[in-house]
Amino acid sequence: MCSGGGDESAASDEIDCVARAIEAMRARVRDSAPEVVRHDLMRLRRAIDRIELEFSAVAAIFANTDEEEWQGSGSPTQWLRGHCGLTSAAASRAIVVGDEARVLTQSYTAVEEGKLGVPHLSLMASTASAVRESPTPHALQEGPLPELALTTTPSR
Protein backbone atom coordinates (compact mmCIF):
# COMPACT_ATOMS: atom_id res chain seq x y z
CA MET A 1 0.00 0.00 0.00
CA CYS A 2 2.51 2.63 1.12
CA SER A 3 6.25 2.41 1.35
CA GLY A 4 8.96 4.93 2.08
CA GLY A 5 12.16 5.10 0.12
CA GLY A 6 14.31 6.21 3.03
CA ASP A 7 14.92 9.76 1.75
CA GLU A 8 13.88 13.00 3.42
CA SER A 9 10.45 13.01 1.77
CA ALA A 10 9.71 9.43 2.84
CA ALA A 11 8.39 10.53 6.25
CA SER A 12 6.09 13.04 4.60
CA ASP A 13 4.94 10.38 2.13
CA GLU A 14 4.23 8.01 5.04
CA ILE A 15 2.20 10.66 6.84
CA ASP A 16 0.25 11.35 3.63
CA CYS A 17 -0.34 7.61 3.28
CA VAL A 18 -1.69 7.37 6.83
CA ALA A 19 -3.95 10.38 6.17
CA ARG A 20 -5.32 8.71 3.01
CA ALA A 21 -5.92 5.47 4.91
CA ILE A 22 -7.80 7.39 7.61
CA GLU A 23 -10.00 9.06 5.01
CA ALA A 24 -10.74 5.69 3.40
CA MET A 25 -11.61 4.23 6.80
CA ARG A 26 -13.89 7.16 7.59
CA ALA A 27 -15.73 6.71 4.29
CA ARG A 28 -16.59 3.06 5.01
CA VAL A 29 -20.04 1.85 5.93
CA ARG A 30 -19.98 1.32 9.69
CA ASP A 31 -21.43 -1.77 11.27
CA SER A 32 -23.74 -0.91 14.16
CA ALA A 33 -23.73 -4.29 15.90
CA PRO A 34 -22.65 -3.59 19.50
CA GLU A 35 -19.90 -6.21 19.53
CA VAL A 36 -18.43 -4.79 16.31
CA VAL A 37 -18.68 -1.22 17.63
CA ARG A 38 -16.88 -2.20 20.86
CA HIS A 39 -14.14 -3.97 18.92
CA ASP A 40 -13.76 -1.02 16.54
CA LEU A 41 -13.54 1.45 19.43
CA MET A 42 -10.70 -0.48 21.06
CA ARG A 43 -8.80 -0.85 17.78
CA LEU A 44 -9.25 2.83 16.93
CA ARG A 45 -8.01 3.91 20.38
CA ARG A 46 -4.90 1.73 20.02
CA ALA A 47 -4.19 3.23 16.61
CA ILE A 48 -4.69 6.76 17.95
CA ASP A 49 -2.35 6.00 20.85
CA ARG A 50 0.38 4.85 18.46
CA ILE A 51 -0.08 7.99 16.38
CA GLU A 52 0.15 10.04 19.60
CA LEU A 53 3.45 8.30 20.39
CA GLU A 54 4.79 9.36 17.00
CA PHE A 55 3.48 12.91 17.42
CA SER A 56 5.17 13.09 20.83
CA ALA A 57 8.47 11.82 19.44
CA VAL A 58 8.43 14.45 16.69
CA ALA A 59 7.29 17.18 19.13
CA ALA A 60 10.24 16.39 21.41
CA ILE A 61 12.64 16.60 18.47
CA PHE A 62 11.11 19.95 17.49
CA ALA A 63 11.35 21.23 21.08
CA ASN A 64 15.08 20.58 21.00
CA THR A 65 15.67 22.59 17.81
CA ASP A 66 17.13 26.07 17.74
CA GLU A 67 14.88 28.95 18.66
CA GLU A 68 14.73 30.30 15.10
CA GLU A 69 12.92 27.09 14.08
CA TRP A 70 9.98 28.13 16.26
CA GLN A 71 9.19 30.84 13.68
CA GLY A 72 8.71 33.73 16.08
CA SER A 73 6.93 31.76 18.79
CA GLY A 74 8.19 32.18 22.33
CA SER A 75 8.57 28.44 22.85
CA PRO A 76 8.01 25.10 21.14
CA THR A 77 4.82 24.76 23.20
CA GLN A 78 3.54 28.07 21.87
CA TRP A 79 4.39 27.02 18.30
CA LEU A 80 2.51 23.72 18.73
CA ARG A 81 -0.49 25.63 20.09
CA GLY A 82 -0.60 27.97 17.13
CA HIS A 83 0.24 25.56 14.34
CA CYS A 84 -1.17 22.24 15.54
CA GLY A 85 -4.32 23.44 17.29
CA LEU A 86 -3.33 22.20 20.74
CA THR A 87 -3.90 23.63 24.17
CA SER A 88 -0.80 24.58 26.14
CA ALA A 89 -1.29 21.53 28.34
CA ALA A 90 -1.59 19.15 25.38
CA ALA A 91 1.47 20.65 23.68
CA SER A 92 3.53 20.41 26.87
CA ARG A 93 2.40 16.82 27.45
CA ALA A 94 3.35 15.81 23.92
CA ILE A 95 6.85 17.20 24.36
CA VAL A 96 7.30 15.59 27.77
CA VAL A 97 6.05 12.21 26.55
CA GLY A 98 8.52 12.35 23.67
CA ASP A 99 11.37 13.47 25.95
CA GLU A 100 10.78 10.68 28.46
CA ALA A 101 10.78 7.84 25.89
CA ARG A 102 14.29 6.81 26.89
CA VAL A 103 13.31 6.59 30.59
CA LEU A 104 9.89 4.94 30.38
CA THR A 105 10.70 2.08 28.02
CA GLN A 106 8.35 -0.46 29.64
CA SER A 107 5.46 1.98 29.59
CA TYR A 108 6.10 2.91 25.95
CA THR A 109 6.12 -0.76 25.05
CA ALA A 110 2.84 -1.24 26.94
CA VAL A 111 1.23 1.56 24.89
CA GLU A 112 2.61 0.13 21.64
CA GLU A 113 1.14 -3.25 22.58
CA GLY A 114 -2.24 -1.73 23.44
CA LYS A 115 -2.02 -2.59 27.13
CA LEU A 116 -1.89 1.05 28.29
CA GLY A 117 -3.15 4.26 26.80
CA VAL A 118 -1.38 7.55 26.25
CA PRO A 119 -3.09 9.17 29.28
CA HIS A 120 -1.27 6.75 31.61
CA LEU A 121 2.00 7.33 29.78
CA SER A 122 1.51 11.09 29.85
CA LEU A 123 1.03 11.05 33.61
CA MET A 124 4.13 8.90 34.12
CA ALA A 125 6.19 11.07 31.76
CA SER A 126 5.13 14.26 33.56
CA THR A 127 6.02 12.66 36.88
CA ALA A 128 9.42 11.49 35.59
CA SER A 129 10.15 14.98 34.30
CA ALA A 130 9.08 16.63 37.57
CA VAL A 131 11.21 14.22 39.64
CA ARG A 132 14.26 14.89 37.46
CA GLU A 133 13.76 18.67 37.64
CA SER A 134 13.02 18.76 41.40
CA PRO A 135 15.37 20.39 43.93
CA THR A 136 16.67 16.90 44.74
CA PRO A 137 16.77 15.47 41.22
CA HIS A 138 17.02 11.80 40.47
CA ALA A 139 15.78 9.47 37.77
CA LEU A 140 12.32 8.00 38.20
CA GLN A 141 12.48 4.25 38.62
CA GLU A 142 9.77 2.93 36.33
CA GLY A 143 9.64 -0.36 38.24
CA PRO A 144 6.07 -1.35 39.08
CA LEU A 145 4.37 1.67 37.45
CA PRO A 146 3.36 0.01 34.14
CA GLU A 147 1.94 -2.99 35.99
CA LEU A 148 0.08 -0.74 38.44
CA ALA A 149 -1.30 1.32 35.54
CA LEU A 150 -2.90 -1.82 34.09
CA THR A 151 -5.24 -2.00 37.08
CA THR A 152 -6.00 1.70 37.66
CA THR A 153 -7.28 4.68 35.73
CA PRO A 154 -4.97 7.63 35.02
CA SER A 155 -6.94 9.76 37.49
CA ARG A 156 -6.15 7.33 40.32
What's the pLDDT tens digit per position in 115-153? 999 999 999 899 888 888 888 877 777 777 777 777 777
Instruction: Give the pLDDT of residue 2.
Output: 58
Instruction: Give the pLDDT of residue 117.
Output: 92
- Alpha-carbon distance of 20 to 14, in angstroms, equals 10
Kindly give the residue spans of alpha helices, DSSP state H, lying in 6-154: 8-26, 34-63, 76-84, 88-99, 105-112, 118-132, 145-149
Instruction: Give the pLDDT of residue 79.
Output: 95
Most trustworthy range by pLDDT among 4-13, 21-30, 138-147: 21-30
Burial level of 55, CB count in 10 A (0-12/13-18/19+)? middle
Residue 3 has pLDDT above 70, yes or no: no
Nearest to 107 by CA among 64, 153, 53: 53
Instruction: Give the pLDDT of residue 6.
Output: 52
